Amino acid sequence: MSYKNLPVRMAANGRLSVPAKFRKALGLEEGGMVVLSLQDGEIRIRPVGVVLAEVQAIVAPYRQASGDTVEQFLADKRVEVAREELEHQTNEASSRKSG
């Protein structure tokens, strides 16, 4: 569905109302966050979800190539914490024996 060139009055304070059919087409009937961009003298308004999906698509090949994920990062951190805790306990036990 395409709507073009619909005149809308901007208030003196910079506010404007996005017509209902535009909001509906963007899934913003109940309001929501949007991203504004200024390009070639035009203001572009896009739902945050659309922009987020674009960013995810851009970084997906790099993420897949590296194999790194949040889950892997957290798993690595858990192993590191467990190792440090074991070292700490070992050092405490040695201190008690020698003290």
Tokens of 97: 């024996």
Mean pLDDT of 6-12: 93
Domain at 1-68: CATH architecture? Ribbon (2.10)
| Domain-wise residue ranges, the chain | 1-68, 69-99
Q: Residue 8: which of 16, 44, 45, 20 has the closest Cα?
A: 16
What pLDDT, in 10s, does the model give residues 40-68?
999 999 999 999 999 989 988 877 666 66
Q: With contact defined as beta carbons under 8 Å apart, do 28 and 18 qualify?
A: yes
Residue 28 is predicted with a pLDDT of: 92
This prediction's pTM: 0.56
